[in-house]
Structure 1
Amino acid sequence: MTPRHVFALASLLLACASSMAATLAINVGGERSLTTEQLLARPDVATISVPNDVTFHRTMTYRAVPLRALLGIAQLPADKELQITATDGFVTHLSAKLLFGDGRKRAEPWLAIEAPDEPWPQAPGNGDIGPFYLVWIDPAASRVSSEQWPFKVDAIRIAPTLAARFPQIAVDKSVPADSPIRRGQTVFATQCIVCHKMNGAGDASMGPDLNRPHNPTEYFQPWVLKSFIRDPKSIRAWTDMRMPGFDRNAISDRDLDAVIAYLGYMAKRKK
């Protein structure tokens, strides 16, 4: 191969790498799009180490930018949340309290950026998770859930709260404040609605509606449903199965019982 051919090949590979660069849409008061190159060129980009990464289950190192600085805002309106969507249909929401709550010690969100020439490893059960991935430093400080680590991110925007947009997921006012059913609604809104809908409510499209046409409490015995949530493949498995298991670090026994109580309650409130 001649030097000219080598140069041409190198240019082609570089062009391919550039064409693979992704774009992130951000709308927090003004719509903008940022490419991989633009994000990696920010002065606040840093190399961070994430212990016990939720997706890879080990310490991971990323090039990332601090999410709060990227957003460029210091607060969210009381009736708004930060909505983060992914190309696989996953949608999660971060509350104003989680993002901007007071406290000397709080979890720090970072947007990890996959460079075209330094791809991340394949994630167990998920494959390629790029190009953007929301990771947390010290997540326990703010009780960040496992479903608040979205990957394959393509857009970040301010949206009305889930409760405001989807009243059909709410329990009746007569349900006591300390009821496990009400606690289950909170768990559902954090851990389940990122993939599923309830009575047609929700933004995600990864999994089926959990009340239409039938609620899982109507065809699973309680112990089977618990086992399915903990380890889906222990009950039913198929080639394209996408639901992960939720161990006790992701959902405590108390929260699991609460979300099942909520599902049982909603089975009688189909809308």
Structure 2
Amino acid sequence: MTSLLRRLSLLALCLALPVHAADLKIDLGHGVRTYDTTQLLARDDARTISIPDDVAFKRAMRYRAVPLKALLDGSSAQDALLFVATDGFAAEIPAALIRQAHGAEAWLAIEEPAHPWPALADGKGDAGPFYVVWTDPSSMKIGPEQWPYQLAAIRKLPPVAERFPGIRPDPALKPDGMVQQGFAVFQRTCFACHTLNGQGDARLGPDLNIPHNPTEYLRGDLLRAYIRDPQSLRQWPQARMPGFDRQALSDGDMDALLAYLRHMSGRKIHSKQ
């Protein structure tokens, strides 16, 4: 009995312990810098900020946070930055959105060990230890995929066409045509979760061209409905794909995205990446 009580006491103590400090690694091409929770919370530029309509929690939230651009010394506005989460999500965000923001401002929210954030809905776990949040996001049309949570690392990237040639449309197409526009939309909205032709950094969702492109097995109206609200086509409580309303993805962007996907269905490359 004594042994059982001791084990139960230890279990209760473990459950009562606060969240442990965590590390964030940033590599901008000059060596990896590591910031831990304690260092970040102790910075002079740490602030308490309010987010009225938080993307992850779907309600108003308050965070201790530091301006993200303050952590990106050594980057330029021309750089592409990859934000890698522990759950396999990988969001590419132009450094210009963060460094030269006019209106919207990116912040690195830091989960305080003594005050952990609530769990996310639908069994998605915890948003911590780090989460990119934005003040006034509508002023620069910041999309939901540009709010990466469970953040573990940030690194500078070469241009996407150099890294993943298999996702590029036919270079003979007009640069300002619908397919090329859709390619830009794909990179902004889909590439954070999906690969295409086996290429990409994300591992959260299925590949969008191998073995079959969604335009090959879904009617156009059903595919549009699925992108707007995945649960409208397949009710699956554990599904992790968010819906893209017209504020996040306009009808014009939707048309361009589907044009790109249809085009890529004829450009399958079986990559081993």
Is residue 2:18 matched to residue 1:21? no
Percent of aligned pairs with the same amino acid: 50
Structure 1 counterpart of 2:66, one-letter code: V
Instruction: Check 1:270–1:14 CA distance in 2 against 1; reply closer, same or farther (3 A cut).
Output: closer
Please report how far the alpha carbon of residue 46 of structure 1 lies from its aligned counterpart in structure 2 after TM superposition: 0.4
Distance 2:16 2:120 in 1: 27
In structure 2, the partner of 1:241 is: 239
Distance 1:181 1:124 in 2: 36
Would you say how many aligned residue pairs link Structure 1 and Structure 2? 257
Secondary structure at the aligned position of 2:152 is classed as: strand
In structure 1, the partner of 2:33 is: 32
In structure 2, the partner of 1:227 is: 225
Distance 2:232 2:70 in 1: 43
Secondary structure at the aligned position of 2:185 is classed as: helix
Instruction: Check 1:43–1:13 CA distance in 2 against 1; reply closer, same or farther (3 A cut).
Output: farther
Secondary structure at the aligned position of 2:181 is classed as: helix
Distance 1:74 1:213 in 2: 37
Please report how far the alpha carbon of residue 195 of structure 1 lies from its aligned counterpart in structure 2 after TM superposition: 0.3
Q: Deviations over 1:40-69 (max 9, x none)?
A: 111111001122222223322110011111
Please report how far the alpha carbon of residue 74 of structure 1 lies from its aligned counterpart in structure 2 after TM superposition: 5.7
In structure 1, the partner of 2:116 is: 119
In structure 2, the partner of 1:89 is: 88
Please report how far the alpha carbon of residue 14 of structure 1 lies from its aligned counterpart in structure 2 after TM superposition: 11
Deviates more, 1:231-240 or 1:83-92: 231-240
In structure 2, the partner of 1:204 is: 202
Structure 2 counterpart of 1:172, one-letter code: D
Is residue 2:51 matched to residue 1:69? no
In structure 1, the partner of 2:5 is: none
In structure 2, the partner of 1:4 is: none
Distance 2:35 2:17 in 1: 19
Instruction: Check 1:181–1:32 CA distance in 2 against 1; reply closer, same or farther (3 A cut).
Output: same
CA RMSD of aligned residues (A): 2.2
Instruction: Check 1:74–1:201 CA distance in 2 against 1; reply closer, same or farther (3 A cut).
Output: closer
Please report how far the alpha carbon of residue 110 of structure 1 lies from its aligned counterpart in structure 2 after TM superposition: 0.4
The answer as to whether partners of 1:68 and 1:74 remain within 8 angstroms in 2 is no
Please report how far the alpha carbon of residue 15 of structure 1 lies from its aligned counterpart in structure 2 after TM superposition: 9.9
Structure 2 counterpart of 1:241, one-letter code: A
Distance 1:264 1:75 in 2: 34
Please report how far the alpha carbon of residue 93 of structure 1 lies from its aligned counterpart in structure 2 after TM superposition: 1.2
Instruction: Check 1:81–1:260 CA distance in 2 against 1; reply closer, same or farther (3 A cut).
Output: same
What does 1:53-64 align with in structure 2 at a 5 Å threshold? 53-64=54-65
Distance 1:14 1:121 in 2: 15
In structure 1, the partner of 2:43 is: 42
Is residue 2:107 matched to residue 1:110? yes
Distance 1:166 1:234 in 2: 32
Instruction: Check 1:220–1:211 CA distance in 2 against 1; reply closer, same or farther (3 A cut).
Output: same
What does 1:150-169 align with in structure 2 at a 5 Å threshold? 150-169=148-167
Instruction: Check 1:239–1:60 CA distance in 2 against 1; reply closer, same or farther (3 A cut).
Output: closer
Distance 1:163 1:95 in 2: 14
Distance 1:167 1:225 in 2: 26
Distance 1:143 1:163 in 2: 24
Distance 2:138 2:236 in 1: 34
Secondary structure at the aligned position of 2:155 is classed as: strand
In structure 1, the partner of 2:3 is: none
In structure 2, the partner of 1:218 is: 216
Distance 2:138 2:50 in 1: 16
Please report how far the alpha carbon of residue 25 of structure 1 lies from its aligned counterpart in structure 2 after TM superposition: 1.1
Distance 1:138 1:59 in 2: 13
Structure 2 counterpart of 1:48, one-letter code: I
Please report how far the alpha carbon of residue 186 of structure 1 lies from its aligned counterpart in structure 2 after TM superposition: 0.5
Q: Deviations over 1:176-206 (max 9, x none)?
A: 2332211111010011010000111110000
- Structure 2 unmatched ranges of 5 or more: 1-8
In structure 1, the partner of 2:257 is: 259
